[in-house]
A and B are shown apart, each in its own frame.
Chain A
Amino acid sequence: MVMQTCRNSFDELLEHRGVTRRDFLKLCGGVAVALGLSEAAVPQIAQALEESVIGKTSGALMPAVWLELASCTGCTESLAQVDTPDVATIVLDLISLNYAETLSAGAGWSLEEAKEQTVEAGGYLLFIEGALMEGWEGNALRIADEKGTDIVSHCATNATAIVCCGSCAVDGGWQAAEPNPGGAIGIEAFLKKELAAGRFEYKGEGDLPPIINVPTCPSNPENLVAILVDALLVGRLPELNNYNMPTLLYGEYIHDNCPRRGHFENGEFVYKFGSEEEKKGYCLYAMGCKGPQTKANCPIVRWNRRVSWCVESGAPCIGCAQANPTCTTLNWVETNAPFFGRFRNLPIAGINVDPTFIAYGVGAVVVAALVIHGFGMKATGRTKGGADFELERKWDSLHPESAIGSAAAAKEAARAQGIAVPEPDDASDAAVTAASAAADSATSTEDDQKGGDE
């Protein structure tokens, strides 16, 4: 099907697509008028555009194709918000965006024609937004009567580079979350699979076109523009890490650049929404913030023309940049939900895995790192003589299966039951152990009651 575009005879191609010569000449006429040329120029234009409904196939602008697959159009929407430069400058002065369902003037067959001709000419950037759907042999996603899987393979064969915009294109995104109903998969994993099966042949150098993964949900337009600048102005592709993500953009943890980091260091946490702590802008780690385990530049480039970002809105980071292009099951939703919890049931292949197993098994390294990182503060001596949060930290570190912050509630419960709870300023080991035990017994009572209700 897609190879039909490689025929030599343009007329034959048009005819195959049900386009008559007359239609084509009319189209050229439209272009001539559009360009402000006289009708006498029409035959010349027709000659010049014989190969093209996209105008010249190359020139001052880098040709580009923007595919929308199983997407919410959020990445296109996001791109429309950028101002450095704005999207009009991008499509008029930087790239020739010959195919973009949401932005193109054309529709239907003529739009498809624009895509085919761009692909045939080669030398274009391929932007892909949304997951690829493999469900029902690729029929879960059909555009213009073609399977999404065929479209991606076809468009990738001749691309200079592929930019996977947003976490869905990187690893399937939320659609790939358990039970992955439509068979969502990321572009890199799909193309590697096709290559291994001998179904994909890249026309450029190497086995696959360079793939640049740009996760977060949606993709941050600042990052897309950064890549465009690299490609168009500097004339190279950005340096990539093992996940084919630009090192400069995805090299540091959100936590490390978070403006609320100081509160973390001081042990000042938000334990619930609508609280005094929230109003003071304390650290959201206790609310399940995934900043410490998510690498992205959100706190630095921010969003929507730099007005804010997630943590500044008072919500914990939900780790939408955590996309593993080699493994669909490690999509960010599955990895991080429940978003307000420190640990979670992780459905793997349909089985709910015990959180304790996660804590001590798969996630042990992460947990250990967090415990060391988050709770190793006592020795630093930043808080002389111990502080209110020392007890909570101690309790938290002993209870990896509980949400951070449970200790405070547990202490309350213990006091309510008349169990002696040491005062905060007494941070001796004995006192902490006693408090921990008191909190333990209080929580286990609570848990029993909960169990009874069910």
Chain B
Amino acid sequence: MADEKSPTDAPTTTPTTTDATTTNATTATPDGAGAAGGSTPDGSAAPMVAAPISAPIKQTRSISGNSIIDPVNRIEGHLRIEMEVKNGVVDDVWVSGGLFRGMELVLKGRQPTDAPYISQRICGVCPVSHAHASCIAAENSFGIEIPNSARIIRNIIEGAQFLHSHILWFYNLAALDYVNPLNALTADIADTVALAEAAGTTQADFRSLQERLKGFASNGQLSIFSGNWFDTEDGGADDSKNAYQLPAELDLIATAHYLEALEIQACSSEISGIIGGKMPHIMSSVPGGTTFVPTEEKLDDILFRAKRIRDWVAATMLPDTLAIAPFYLDVAGYGKGVGRFCAWGVFDAPSRNPEERYLPSGMWGFGDSSVQSVDETLITEETVRSFYSDSGTPINPRSGITEPKWPDEGPSRDGRYTWNKAPRYDGKPYEAGGLSRLLVAYNRGIPFIKENIDMLLAYLSEKAGATLGVEALGSTLGRTAARNIETLYVATKMVEWTEELIAAIKGGDTKTFTEPLHQDGEGSGMWEAPRGALYHYEKISANKIDAYQIIIPSTWNISPRDAQGVRGPMEEALVGVPVADLKKPIHALRTVHSFDPCVACAVHISEPATGKTFSTVTSPWGVK
């Protein structure tokens, strides 16, 4: 109950009263924090630990009915979540995307050199990934390989986008599901400083920040806190408690770092800007390589920013995760999803083999003994539950012909309910994203990833009193923790890549562009956006695009049911999530946010290879 939540009722106001926090504080201070002094953090020495798995959720509630979140906030695009709640938990769910734009049709007939510029405008959060996937598709079509220096430059700008995206997601988007900045008004400053010290996270000018917040509160205008869910009940194991559990002091720390994160994500985008001219929507990545000329001045600008970001992530982002997690143990108990993971791989290595990328490609599921190679021909898309004229059989995107069509009977839960198609791999739904990349990297034996995940699992095992495997990561918490491990990994690599580029230039490796050999062909670009596996495909004749096809990570994640009635990953993850308040299903929102969905990207049509257009469509939306 909201009324019961007063500052003195908060779980703890001093760090010494919370075992979990102090335990973390002693074990969780990453050695990387020492990097503030300028030393290179040994990333592997930054232990990643997290909260123990919570007890199973008690179904003590009698709440039943429909619960709808529309619009879902703090994501990219327009997403609607429609849930059927029985006895306090989600019984069934329908996820749908609400915007149709038609990128593939706009690209058709244009030149392949235009495609990276136009297609990256699908998404303002991950434009770099789209530009790269489009470039790779063109390069594969033309049969060329980009020069080594161009490869490194692309890795750096891609990495800068990953860091920007992950940091912004954690602090500025997802955090407001767990942190109540307005609660920070009542924090005691001395306790806050002590708590930050104990948690091993960065100090800040907490008093000034609190004064600033008080000034804001005295205006009485709520600004971005309008219509907040800060008062919502938890509805989990202890259903009488408020869903926002942090002590005011930790809220103040997190709010201070919310502001710092705004600076750091911007710093990361500055790297994208230095290479790409501007961010969002970069200019430098073109089929054949890059237009960016790495001068000494530019390299220096990149290197010092990369080091600043790496040091901040090690010193602030991971300790914060550890300090906040103990207050939200329930979050580890739900949100599993389908338990199968796909990664096309990202950050090219000198070998150019996708399976040897710094985050490698592969298919893996809980219970599998080893990672399988990706077979592009096994990718299919189905539309039996989407607004298309269904061909009846799942089709590969290369031969995909799907015509958008509004169902005569109208949209319904039993019939067609979304614009999003249902991608499947070998007939099964797969989850894409940071967790997928890390599980594949883990099983391919990337040392940094293996070490950090093993430490996390050891910690979880200790807390749970049982030996836990990687299955424990299949949760809303696991998805969040994985993304933060990935952030540190990429931040560490960014410095290495910049140094690699400097060494390459010193060694005379200054070539950054390869001329196309011909202007016909077809090819796919399989790459990763921060949100997961990204696929572009194009068919080119006489320097004109005949067909273009895109499958976005969130298309995998927010997939509807397929012909067999099998739910998509996000739908599956939402089943079983506790709901205390049908109007503010906070746990469902947390679970949706853990996927970091990107919905503007996700709605796509197949290229009408037959020349068909979709003029027959009468209305693209309308789940009632």
Show the binding face of A for B, using Cβ within 8 Å: 18-19, 23, 26-27, 29-31, 33-36, 38-39, 42, 48, 53-61, 63, 68, 70-78, 80-81, 83, 86-88, 91-93, 95-114, 118, 133, 135-137, 139-145, 173-175, 177-179, 181-182, 184, 217-218, 272-274, 278-279, 281, 303-305, 307-315, 318, 320, 333, 337-341, 347, 352, 454
Contacts and interface: CB of A to CB of B under 8 A. Distances in A.
Contacts, number: 380
B500 interface: no
A19 to B, nearest CB: 7
A70 B78 CA distance: 9
B277 A313 contact: yes
B111 interface: yes
16 contacts: A38-B6, A48-B220, A53-B226, A54-B227, A56-B221, A70-B600, A71-B124, A73-B76, A102-B73, A105-B230, A107-B74, A107-B229, A112-B71, A139-B620, A141-B99, A304-B273
Contacts of A181: 100-102, 105-106, 613-614
Contacts of B265: 80
B70 A108 contact: yes
A338 B71 contact: no
Given A26-B2, A133-B101, A278-B293, 4 more contacts: A141-B78, A303-B273, A304-B272, A347-B109
Q: Which of B221, B229, B512 has most chain A Cβ within 10 Å?
A: B221
B266 interface: yes
A59 B216 CA distance: 11
Contacts of B70: 108, 143-145
Contacts of A274: 147, 288-289, 511-515
A339 B231 contact: no
B98 A106 contact: no
B226 A273 contact: no
Given A33-B183, A73-B77, A140 B280 contact: no
A431 B276 CA distance: 42
Contacts of B281: 74, 217-218, 320
B224 interface: yes
Given A137-B619, A143-B70, A307-B274, A70 B101 contact: yes
Interface in B259-282: 259, 262-263, 265-266, 269-270, 272-282
Given A106-B227, A274-B514, A70 B99 contact: yes
B230 A107 contact: no
A102 B173 contact: yes
A394 to B, nearest CB: 27
A111 to B, nearest CB: 5
B222 A74 contact: no
Contacts of A111: 71, 73, 226-227
A355 to B, nearest CB: 13
A172 to B, nearest CB: 11
B125 to A, nearest CB: 6
B279 A304 contact: yes
A30 B230 contact: yes
Interface string B72-108: 1111111000000000000000000011111001100
Nearest to B104: A181
Nearest to A218: B280
A104 B176 CA distance: 9
Contact of B288 (A144, A175, A273, A308): A273
Contact of A142 (B230, B274, B621): B621
B111 A337 contact: yes
B223 A95 contact: yes
B560 to A, nearest CB: 16
Interface stretch (B37-45, B115-123, B392-400, B423-431): B115-123
B227 A143 contact: no
Contacts of A175: 101-102, 106
Contacts of A108: 68-73, 583-584
A77 B125 contact: yes
Contacts of A110: 227-229, 583-584
A347 B61 CA distance: 60
Interface in B424-445: none
Contacts of A55: 219-222, 226
Nearest to B176: A105
Contacts of A137: 619
Contacts of B100: 133, 135, 140-141, 181-182
Contact of A97 (B127, B215, B223): B223
Q: Which of B75, B284, B510 has most chain A Cβ within 10 Å?
A: B284
Q: Which of A83, A98, A107, A304 has most chain B Cβ within 10 Å?
A: A107
Contact of A337 (B102, B114, B510, B622): B114
Contact of B222 (A98, A133, A308): A98
A279 B513 CA distance: 12
Contacts of A74: 121, 123-125, 127, 280-281
Nearest to B283: A315
A97 B73 CA distance: 14
B106 A177 contact: yes
A402 to B, nearest CB: 15
Contacts of A70: 99, 101, 600
A34 B220 contact: no
B291 interface: yes
Q: Which of A77, A112, A118, A139 has most chain B Cβ within 10 Å?
A: A77
Contacts of B258: 88
Contacts of B76: 72-73, 102
B286 interface: yes
Given A174-B106, A218-B124, A140 B277 contact: no
B203 interface: no
B413 interface: no
Interface in B214-249: 215-217, 219-232
Interface in B532-579: 542
B3 interface: yes
A304 B270 contact: yes
A312 B278 CA distance: 10
A144 B114 contact: no
Contacts of B619: 136-137, 139
